[in-house]
Amino acid sequence: AQKVTQAQTEISVVEKEDVTLDCVYETRDTTYYLFWYKQPPSGELVFLIRRNSFDEQNEISGRYSWNFQKSTSSFNFTITASQVVDSAVYFCALISPTSGTYKYIFGTGTRLKVLA
């Protein structure tokens, strides 16, 4: 079975603090893809990053960074020096196309509140 767990329901931080959003996934497949999406108050989900299972390199994009560790089945997302505009719900997602199913499995999301 495939599953994505985002144990943090809601996180509140003060502006300029660093914050890490956790994502733990389950799949039996060796080929899979992981994603993070941001859903701001406006409602439309925005793609942030996509990683495949063969690439464990960490990635940094501006204030955002992602730590992919197959040993712990985790794909965590860190925002450095958070800003009020980072306030949103963040979703982690998984797809294993070689399993024969093409569903994207989403976690329940983490609501991030960045206070000024």
Footprint of other proteins (CB under 8 A) = 32-33, 35, 37, 42-47, 50, 52, 91, 93, 95, 97, 101-109
Residue among 64 and 80 whose Cβ is closer to other proteins: 64
| Pairing outcome for strands 88-95 and 105-106 | antiparallel
Amino acid identity at 5: T
Are 110 and 7 in contact by the 8 Å Cβ rule? The answer is no
Q: Say which DSSP state 55 is in.
A: -
